[in-house]
Amino acid sequence: MDVVDQMRTFVRIVDAGSLSAAARAGRLSLAAVSRQLSALEEDLGTSLVVRTTRRLQVTPGGRRWYEHCVRMLRELEQARADVRDSGDVRGTVVISAPVTLGTYRVVPRLHALVREHPGLDLEIRLEDRFVDLVGDNVDIAVRAGIAPPDSSSVIAHPLETSRRVVVGSPEYLARAGTPVHPSELAGHDAIVQPLARWRFGRRPDTGRGRRRAARATGSPEASGEAFPGVTGPRPDSPSMEVVEVAPRVRVRSTTPDVARDLAVAGLGIAMLPEWLVPRTLRRVLPEWQTTPVTQTWALHRIELRGAPRIRAVIAALTGELR
C-alpha cells in the first residue's frame, strides 16, 4: 500500500471520527480502511487511535501523525500544481491575518485575484494570535505593529504604513468637551485596547496658531476632520514635543472594530487605526501625531518565493495596500 494513500486514509479517519465514515468518504470498504490503519500502526510502531464501541479516540502520537499528514499532503498537492504549469496560478494558499485588519484591509484586496484565477483556492484564517508558518501550516501571515522575524528563512513584504488617531462622536464631545491637549485625555472616558498609555508628538511650530491659519485658508485641518499621512518628523524624534498620557479607561477591548462601535455610540474617546475611522466620528487633537507608526507586513517562508500562487497573492496585497 502506498504511504500517501495510507496518509490520506488516516486523515479521513480523524476528520470523520470513525472508520466507517472514512470508508464512505474514500469509497473503500470498511475492511480495507481497517487494514490500512493496522498496517500504518505496525509500520510506525505505535497506536494511532483507540477504538471503542462508541467512539474513536486519537492518541497523542496519532494527533502528531495527523498534523504531519495534513501538512505533507497539502505540500504534495501544491508541488504538483507548481510544476504542472510554471506560469499557471493554481493550488491552495493559506493566509492568516488579524481579525480587524484582515476584514477591512486584506480580504477586500483578494476579490479580483480569486475572480482572475479560477484554479486558485484561498483558505483565510482571521485570528488574533501569533502563528508558526510551519507548525500552523500557514503560507502567508499578515501582521501589523510588530517587526518581522530576524530570520533568513522568512521573507517579509511591506504592505502598509499607518497611524492611529484619536476620535470621538459628536454626541460625546458635545457632552464632555473637546480636548485641546493630550494631557486633558486623563479626564475623559476612554475606550482602549491593551495599550493603556497613549503617546503623542507635535512639532514646536504646530498648535493653535497653525489651526487659526488653517481656518483662515479654509483647510479641512481646522475642522478636525483631516487625516494627515505619515510624512514628516517621527513623534519620537528630538525635534518633537512628546506627551504620554494614561486616559481614564471606561471600556477595554482587544479588537479595534469593537472600540470603534463603542465610540460611535458615544461612550468615550478611542484611538483607532486611521483606515477604520467612519465619517460619524470626529478627530480630536489633529495637530498631534500618535506613536508608534504601524507597519504591516506579509510574511512567508523563503522556499515559497518562486511559487506562482504565492507571488500572485503578494502582488494583490502589495498592489492594493500601498
Per the domain annotation, does 21 fall within a domain?
A: yes
By three-state DSSP, how is residue 270 classified? strand
What CATH number is associated with residue 180? 3.40.190.290
Q: Edge to edge, what strands does the sheet with 164-168 contain?
A: 248-252, 189-192, 269-273, 164-168, 282-283
Per the domain annotation, does 80 fall within a domain?
A: no
Domain that holds residue 8: 3-72
Q: Answer yes or no: do 259 and 274 share one domain.
A: yes
Q: Answer yes or no: do 173 and 283 share one domain.
A: yes
pLDDT, one tens digit for every residue, the chain (322 residues): 588 888 989 988 888 888 888 888 778 899 999 999 999 999 999 999 997 766 788 999 999 999 899 888 888 877 776 666 556 788 889 999 999 999 999 999 999 999 999 989 999 999 988 888 877 888 999 999 888 887 778 899 999 999 899 999 999 999 999 999 999 998 999 999 876 689 898 876 655 544 443 443 343 333 333 333 333 444 445 567 888 998 888 999 888 999 999 999 999 999 999 999 999 999 999 999 887 788 999 999 888 887 889 999 999 998 854 4
Task: Outline where 192-235 has alpha helix (H).
Answer: 208-217
Q: Answer yes or no: do 288 and 317 share one domain.
A: no
Per the domain annotation, does 17 fall within a domain?
A: yes
Q: Answer yes or no: do 172 and 278 share one domain.
A: yes
Number of domains in the chain: 3
Q: Answer yes or no: do 150 and 93 share one domain.
A: yes
Per the domain annotation, does 79 fall within a domain?
A: no
**C-alpha 12: how far from chain center:** 30
Q: Answer yes or no: do 96 and 172 share one domain.
A: no
Query: CB–CB of 139/93 below 8 Å?
Result: yes
Q: Answer yes or no: do 256 and 301 share one domain.
A: no
Identity of residue 70: V
Instruction: Report d(CA 112, CA 124) in Å as an integer.
Output: 15
Q: Answer yes or no: do 278 and 305 share one domain.
A: no
By three-state DSSP, how is residue 93 classified? strand
